[in-house]
Chains A and B, each alone.
Chain A
Amino acid sequence: MTHRTLVYRTLLLWVLFEVFAAAQARGPSGVTVLASWVRALLTPPVTMIEYLAHATGDLVTGFGDSRTLASENRRLTDEAATLRSQNATLRTDLRATLQATESLLSLPVFSGIPARCLYRDLGRGLLLVSMGAGGPTIDHDTPVLGEGGVIGRVIRVEGQTCWVESLTRAAAAVAVTTLDGTTQALAEGTGGPELLIHFVSLRAPLTVGQELVTSGADGIYPPGFPVARISSILERGGPFLEIKARPVANPITIQSVWLVDDRRMAEGPEREGP
């Protein structure tokens, strides 16, 4: 046996004897020294494992929270986009309403409900307008005013939306008169952009460009609202003049309208309209 072997074996025995002695000796707390050694050896890895477990738990929780936050963020982003869209729509509506209001400054005082044009079918002469949530109920045949004058009348009500018959629709008619009230006539839609003015005598003092307003004789439209301007006057030998007129309110560019509330007009004019 060489010295190196002897030293190795001795060192091994020393370690065993020291451990054996540590198993007998007790510290101040009454625990054996060997137990405190084992605890000192095991505490760092156990603590590290605990910290790792906590860190992993925190990581998982954080990942879940981040997913929740991302989902919430996405929802809020969509909601913000929706609100921006609604805001843009409301601003558009407000601008259109202001424009309509400004255009109605020249009209007689009336009580009306603002509505937004949702859909136009110029081929059939129909408009779909909406009064918005919480608006009052609208009756059939309610006159509709647009930019500069009469647009038409309500022919069907569907909740807060209603279909409006344009003056240019074929067979649509409105009783008109000149501003001075000397000439009475009937304006009829043609299905095109112009109106035919019927029952004007050959001696009527009309000129091209003259404005015709509602006379109120039809019982639907209140008197005094602009309807059309005369675009041509022809004499064909019949008892009446053949007159064509262009509507003052252009349904092509219309964005907002006013639904004239007859009941409120009967109670007295309120400055809700222009």
Chain B
Amino acid sequence: MKHGLKIFVLVAVTLAAQRLLGHPQTMPYAAALLLPMPWVIGPPLLALERRWYWLAFGIGLSWDLLFEPVIGTGAIAWSAPALCTWIGASIMAEQRTRAWFVFGAGGTLVFWLVRSICYFPLGLPGTPTWSWIGASALLTGLWCASVHAVLAFDLPARWRQRRTHRLRL
């Protein structure tokens, strides 16, 4: 599978999972977790190429299709944390799990703030409460930190290493 297609499928799976988080049978604050956030803050924190920045616009437009009443505001809201992270990561040069938590939580705050600002001139309802935003920032930050932890653990490499040990035995 090509790399781009793999990314596309993974993003689609992430959005589908985000849709499932909003299911009535899940926990009340489950939808506050922004699953696509690692795709937005990950590339700058991993020092990938700048073209990954535009992925945030694609995620935002997809978010609009799935979760918003109009198309456009999600692209703005998702590109805002991406922009902040790209600029912030270039200044801080911090790639530890703690940085992922901070950028994930901060990016979530930026997301909700920019989304509210975009909604304001359009007269659309849907501005979340402060408790919702706080919960969303905390959960998303933890989610981003856990993603980095998994990446840092590098499970495939460890799996291959274990298989090598077994073959020697």
Q: Which residues of B contact A28 (CB under 8 A)?
A: 123
Shortest C-beta distance, A26 to chain B (Å), equals 9
CB pair A18–B87 under 8 Å, yes or no, is no
Size category of the A interface is 10 to 19
Which one, A6-14, A69-77, A174-182, A206-214, is touching chain B? A6-14
Given the contacts A17-B75, A20-B71, A25 and B122 also touching, CB distance less than 8 Å: yes
CB pair B75–A13 under 8 Å, yes or no, is yes
Cβ of A62 within 8 Å of any chain B Cβ, yes or no, is: no
Q: Which residues of B contact A254 (CB under 8 A)?
A: none
Cβ of B70 within 8 Å of any chain A Cβ, yes or no, is: yes
Given the contacts A13-B75, A14-B76, A21 and B118 also touching, CB distance less than 8 Å: yes
Shortest C-beta distance, A47 to chain B (Å), equals 22
Q: Which residues of A contact B90 (CB under 8 A)?
A: 3
- The interface size of chain B toward A, counting residues with CB under 8 Å, comes to 20
CB pair B124–A25 under 8 Å, yes or no, is yes
- Considering only CB atoms, which chain B residue lies closest to A21 in the complex? B72
Q: Which residues of A contact B124 (CB under 8 A)?
A: 25
Shortest C-beta distance, A162 to chain B (Å), equals 98
Residues A22-38 near B (CB distance < 8 A): 22, 24-25, 27-28, 33
Shortest C-beta distance, A274 to chain B (Å), equals 101
- Considering only CB atoms, which chain A residue lies closest to B64 in the complex? A21
Cβ of A41 within 8 Å of any chain B Cβ, yes or no, is: no
Q: How far does the alpha carbon of A17 sit from the alpha carbon of B86 in the complex, in Å?
A: 21
Cβ of B121 within 8 Å of any chain A Cβ, yes or no, is: yes
Residue from the list B57, B75, B83, B121 in contact with A6, Cβ < 8 A: B83
Q: Which residues of B contact A3 (CB under 8 A)?
A: 86-87, 90
Q: How far does the alpha carbon of A14 sit from the alpha carbon of B72 in the complex, in Å?
A: 8
- Considering only CB atoms, which chain A residue lies closest to B118 in the complex? A18
Proximity bits, B70-86, A CB within 8 Å = 1, else 0: 11110110010001001
Given the contacts A17-B75, A17-B76, A21-B122, A6 and B69 also touching, CB distance less than 8 Å: no
CB pair B57–A13 under 8 Å, yes or no, is yes
Given the contacts A1-B50, A3-B90, A24-B70, A18 and B121 also touching, CB distance less than 8 Å: yes
Q: How far does the alpha carbon of A7 sit from the alpha carbon of B79 in the complex, in Å?
A: 11
CB pair B72–A18 under 8 Å, yes or no, is yes
- Considering only CB atoms, which chain B residue lies closest to A16 in the complex? B72
- Considering only CB atoms, which chain B residue lies closest to A33 in the complex? B122
Cβ of B53 within 8 Å of any chain A Cβ, yes or no, is: yes
Q: Which residues of B contact A16 (CB under 8 A)?
A: 72
CB pair B72–A6 under 8 Å, yes or no, is no
CB pair A21–B79 under 8 Å, yes or no, is no
CB pair B79–A18 under 8 Å, yes or no, is no
CB pair B83–A21 under 8 Å, yes or no, is no
CB pair B118–A27 under 8 Å, yes or no, is no
Q: Which residues of A contact B76 (CB under 8 A)?
A: 13-14, 17-18
Given the contacts A6-B86, A13-B57, A22 and B121 also touching, CB distance less than 8 Å: yes
CB pair A17–B123 under 8 Å, yes or no, is no
Q: Which residues of A contact B73 (CB under 8 A)?
A: 17-18, 21
CB pair B72–A20 under 8 Å, yes or no, is yes
- Considering only CB atoms, which chain B residue lies closest to A25 in the complex? B122
Q: How far does the alpha carbon of A6 sit from the alpha carbon of B90 in the complex, in Å?
A: 13
Shortest C-beta distance, B77 to chain A (Å), equals 10
Shortest C-beta distance, A37 to chain B (Å), equals 8
Q: Which residues of A contact B123 (CB under 8 A)?
A: 25, 27-28, 33
6 A-B contacts (beta carbon < 8 Å): A14-B76, A18-B72, A19-B72, A21-B73, A22-B122, A24-B71
Given contacts A17-B75, A27-B123, 8 further A-B pairs with CB under 8 A are: A6-B86, A17-B76, A20-B71, A21-B73, A24-B69, A24-B72, A25-B70, A25-B124
The 3 closest A-B pairs by CB, nearest first: A21-B72, A17-B72, A24-B70
